[in-house]
Amino acid sequence: MKKLIYDIVGKLNKRDIQFGDVRFTSSDSQTIFFEKKNLKHISKTTDAEALGIRVLVDGCWGFAGTDVMDVTKVDGLINLAISNAKHSARFRHTPVAFKSIKPTTGSYYFVPEEDPFAMPDDQKIEYLQNIANKLNQNPLIIHTGVHVDFYRQYKVYANTEGSFVDTLVYDTMPSMSVVAVNSKGMQTRTWPGHMSTKRGGFEVVREAKLEENIDRIVKEVIDLLDAPTIEEEKADLIIGGGHLALQLHESVGHATEADRILGMEISYAGKTFIKPEMLGNFKYGSKEVNIYSDSTDPRGIGYHLVDDEGVPGRKVDIIKEGILLDQQTSREIAPQLGLEPSSNMMASFADDFPLVRMTNFCLAPGKAGSLEDLIKSTEKGYYIDFTKTWSIDDNRNNFQFTTEIGYKIVDGQIVGIVKEPTYFGITAEFWGACDAVCSESEWNYHGTSYCGKGEPGQAMHLSHGVAPARFRNIVCNVKA
């Protein structure tokens, strides 16, 4: 396959184009799902191959992709990409222009401790069946689920500047859930939560400690049935890492994808309240808020040697001590905002056009110590975690989030639980209310395999590094 990519780049170099790149992906995936102790679904896709060719001609992008690998069709794909660029250029007012960059060459092959695609299906099913059997241990529980996704992708990227990189990665998403009901309503508990995807193989399932946390979520889901709700109109909230990762994702991550500023991404997932003139001066949060994009950290699933247009992985400060400094950009968009490309152009598969996407998008750890320390320093409030529902407007500005459970804090001690803690906010006001972030010891990556963007839609794998953080005087009741 490497030779084919070399040959395609060679053909592009002989054509009258400004820039060209080629991507190949071969993807494998497997899903195993148990419902109410029963194996409800198992599926596997292997060797799903795709090829994409992108060219810049007459100041406009042209693209052609296929999921049918036929070397006799390569010349036709090249011609189609060039034709698409030439036709589209007639309708483009401002030509695409960017500086060339030094080529990158190299390989990155992640080696899992336990390759799920080499393991017998019976072995994986037996492990998960044991967990599924133990979830149904109370008559109030009406539904249980155990769900695992395995993913492996081999990618080759090359361009006419001389970059040539190939990578192999594994990602795994484990989860389990219980639903209980009584005369007062229905409640849900999940583990390890909404963002459980991590880089790795079957060892990620073991590290999630599903079986070890069965008793915890079963007890909590039953207790939640009779638990009170938050009565205060406003309260201090400590938000746990799993849910804070989603808050970061929705109200900062998507908001700082620069294609939204320029109106290139609107209809699917909205635009952004950010304007170009805000860069360098807009107060996005308190001085405790330091947020960055870092595709150079292999601990996160957003790691890469280069993005899908050849920009080497970078760490970029998006927000520094609360001030908005930078954006997630492409080679085309960055110069329009006076920025350097941030290495955030990615596509799900080779036959998808790359878009500005989050990679490893992180809230830096603070100096508040452990979660226990942060709780002890909170006179009155709630520690909340495990996402249940959320909503945010198409400007990434006005939001509502609900978690599965909250732990009431009085005089630095947890004294009980509340069900479905819900809070509301405006993005900059909310992040401006952050007065403490836990230290490095509490900082971890949380990942998703299903970040949607684009039309046709693409699902991206990405990570958020966060530690629990405290937010003061947050609206918990719409009457506030």
Burial class (CB in 10 A: 0-12, 13-18, 19+), 179: middle
Residue type for position 46: T
Q: How many CB atoms lie within 10 A of CB 454?
A: 21
Task: Determine contact, residues 140/222, Cβ cutoff 8 Å.
Answer: yes
| Cα 463 → chain centroid | 5
Q: Which two three-digit tokens encode residue 90?
A: 């007639």
Q: Is the pLDDT of residue 220 over 90?
A: yes
Whole-angstrom distance, CA of residue 365 vs CA of residue 301: 19
- pLDDT the model gives residue 339: 97
What would the mean pLDDT of 405-417 be, rounded to a whole number? 98
Q: Is the pLDDT of residue 91 over 70?
A: yes
Eight-class DSSP state of 289: -
Residue type for position 138: N
Of 24, 11, 329, the residue nearest 165 (C-alpha): 24
Q: Which two three-digit tokens encode residue 266?
A: 């609107």
Burial class (CB in 10 A: 0-12, 13-18, 19+), 245: buried
Name the pairing type of β-strands 105-109 and 164-182: parallel
Whole-angstrom distance, CA of residue 48 vs CA of residue 480: 52
- pLDDT the model gives residue 360: 98
Q: What angle do CA 345, 312, 51 make, to 5 degrees?
A: 50
- pLDDT the model gives residue 480: 46
Whole-angstrom distance, CA of residue 424 vs CA of residue 357: 26
Q: How many residues can be counted in the chain?
A: 480
Task: Determine contact, residues 208/192, Cβ cutoff 8 Å.
Answer: yes
Whole-angstrom distance, CA of residue 16 vs CA of residue 56: 10
Q: Which residue has the tokens 């250029």?
A: 89
Radius of gyration of the chain (CA): 24
DSSP assignments along 333-377, one per residue: TGGGGT----S-EE-SSTTSPPEE--SBEEEPP-SS--HHHHHHT
Whole-angstrom distance, CA of residue 92 vs CA of residue 61: 10
Name the pairing type of β-strands 185-191 and 164-182: antiparallel
Q: Grade residue 478 by pLDDT with cuts at 50, 70 and 90.
A: low
Average pLDDT, the chain: 96
- pLDDT the model gives residue 121: 97
Please give the model's pTM, rounded to 2 decimal places.
Answer: 0.96
pLDDT in tens, 115-160: 999 999 999 999 999 999 999 889 999 999 999 999 999 999 999 9
What would the mean pLDDT of 452-472 be, rounded to a whole number? 95
Q: 38 — phi, psi (to 5°)?
A: -100, 140
β-pair partners for 139: none
What would the mean pLDDT of 414-438 be, rounded to a whole number? 98
Q: Is the pLDDT of residue 112 over 60?
A: yes
Q: Which residue has the tokens 């309240």?
A: 273
- pLDDT the model gives residue 374: 98
- pLDDT the model gives residue 479: 61
Q: Which two three-digit tokens encode residue 430?
A: 């909310």
Q: Grade residue 477 by pLDDT with cuts at 50, 70 and 90.
A: confident
Whole-angstrom distance, CA of residue 406 vs CA of residue 382: 6
Separate counts of helices (H) and strands (E) for the chain: 9, 23
The CATH architecture assigned to 2-225 reads: 2-Layer Sandwich (3.30)
pLDDT in tens, 248-275: 999 999 999 999 999 888 777 789 999 9
What would the mean pLDDT of 3-27 be, rounded to a whole number? 97
pLDDT in tens, 18-42: 999 999 999 999 999 999 999 999 9
Residue spans in the chain of domains classed CATH 3.30.2290.10:
2-225
Task: Determine contact, residues 208/196, Cβ cutoff 8 Å.
Answer: yes
Task: Determine contact, residues 109/167, Cβ cutoff 8 Å.
Answer: yes
Task: Determine contact, residues 285/323, Cβ cutoff 8 Å.
Answer: no
Q: How many CB atoms lie within 10 A of CB 122?
A: 9
What would the mean pLDDT of 191-206 be, rounded to a whole number? 97
Least confident of 88-92, 167-171, 439-443: 88-92
- pLDDT the model gives residue 239: 98
Q: Is the pLDDT of residue 382 over 50?
A: yes
Burial class (CB in 10 A: 0-12, 13-18, 19+), 13: exposed
Q: Which residue has the tokens 């908005």?
A: 324
Q: Which two three-digit tokens encode residue 473?
A: 């005087």
Whole-angstrom distance, CA of residue 360 vs CA of residue 295: 6
3-state secondary structure of 92: coil
What would the mean pLDDT of 222-228 be, rounded to a whole number? 97
Task: Determine contact, residues 331/309, Cβ cutoff 8 Å.
Answer: yes
DSSP assignments along 395-418, one per residue: TS-EEEEEEEEEEEEETTEEEEEE
- pLDDT the model gives residue 264: 86
